[in-house]
Amino acid sequence: MSIEVKSVEQNGNYKIQVSGQVDLYTSPNLRKAIMEAVDKSNTSIIIQLSTVEYMDSSGVATLVEGLRSAMKQKKSFKLSTPSPAVRKVLNLARLESVFTIIESNEE
Amino acid sequence: MRDDLKITFRSHPKLLKPIRALIKNYLDVVGFSKDRIDDIVLGLDEACTNCIRHAYHNSRSGIIQLTARLGTVWLEFEIQDCGACPPKNFLDRKEVAPLQPTTIKPHGLGLIILKRAFEEIQFNVDNDGRNCLILRTRRKGFKKG
């Protein structure tokens, strides 16, 4: 498996650290972690994406699904420090403005 | 236009990673910039993902054939599968900009990415009933026009 997903809970909120390549094969792992975090979190979920080497539309769809689920539950959903690969696919899919993007020192 | 590369692989998503690596190396050899390589690899990955998800309905036993052809002006990829035929006008879907989280279909993004990665896209079904997707991009040094 070419992906690593670590979920860290702090004061009822969740930070998910993603590393490696996110594609059709690996995105179900990310989806599981995100949807669990959205359901369990008190108010906020941060997805740390600085060490993602590659992401395709399966990964983007997973992030969109997480965002939509968080919005329904009135929780905040942010992407932290997306790597150039993540920024590229968000840009190609015209979704950069849809997500709240923060830099790591803002977390 | 000559065939530079022809590979056949099963419709298993775990094979997408080595296919990406192979194409990335090939594009580097034929002289594309890193930025274009990333776009093209992403577009091809989306095309192969579509074969797995839509033509073969996530079955891992289908066959996908990827051919790269290099001409003086164009680089062309052909992706063939023997799965279900997509809707007739699936390439005609219009982009709605800017996309919003409430209107995005989580699985409708691949085609948007594919269309932005390549300058020409064609789809046909050949005489043997195979789906053939042709993707073209201009070689380095050639401008649109």
Please name every residue paired with B79 in a beta bridge, in sequence order, or none if there are none: B66, B133
Q: Is residue B144 part of a domain?
A: no
Q: For chain B, what is the domain count?
A: 1
Q: Is residue B111 part of a domain?
A: yes
Determine contact: A28 vs chain B, CB below 8 A. Answer: no
Q: Is residue B93 part of a domain?
A: yes
Provide the CATH number for the domain around residue B53: 3.30.565.10
CATH top-level class for A3-106? alpha beta
Chain length of chain A: 107
Residue-range domain boundaries for chain A: 3-106
Complex ipTM > 0.85: yes
- Which chain A residue lies closest to B105 (C-alpha atoms)? A61
In one-letter notation, the amino acid at residue B77 is F
Q: What are the DSSP E strand ranges found in B12-140? A: 63-70, 74-81, 120-125, 131-138
Q: What are the DSSP E strand ranges found in chain B? A: 2-10, 63-70, 74-81, 120-125, 131-138
Q: Which residues of A touch B102 (CB under 8 A)?
A: 68, 71
Range of the domain at B124: 2-138
- Flag if A56 and B39 touch (Cβ within 8 Å): no
Residue A103: pLDDT band with limits 50, 70, 90: confident
Q: Say what percent of chain A tops pLDDT 90.
A: 83
Provide mean pLDDT across the span A71-78: 96
- Flag if B100 and A64 touch (Cβ within 8 Å): no
- Flag if A94 and B39 touch (Cβ within 8 Å): no
Name the DSSP letter for residue B55. I
Q: Is residue B143 part of a domain?
A: no
Produce one character per residue of A25-64: b if its CB has 16 or more CB atoms within 10 Å, e if not: bbbebbbebbeebbeebeebbbbbbeebebbbbbbbbbbb
Which helix (H) or strand (E) element contains residue A20?
strand A13-22
pLDDT tens, per residue, chain B with 145 residues: 888 999 999 999 999 999 999 999 999 999 999 999 999 999 999 999 999 999 999 999 999 999 999 999 999 999 999 999 887 777 776 655 556 666 666 567 888 888 889 999 999 999 999 999 999 999 865 555 4
- Chain A stretch 62-81, residues whose beta carbon is closer than 8 A to a beta carbon of chain B: 62, 64-65, 67-68, 71
For chain A, the first-to-last Cα distance in angstroms comes to 28
- Flag if B116 and A92 touch (Cβ within 8 Å): yes
Q: Is residue B61 part of a domain?
A: yes
Determine contact: B96 vs chain A, CB below 8 A. Answer: no
Q: Is A74 exposed, middle or buried (0-12, 13-18, 19+ CB in 10 A)?
A: exposed
Q: Distance (Å) from the C-alpha of residue A98 to the closest C-alpha of chain B?
A: 6
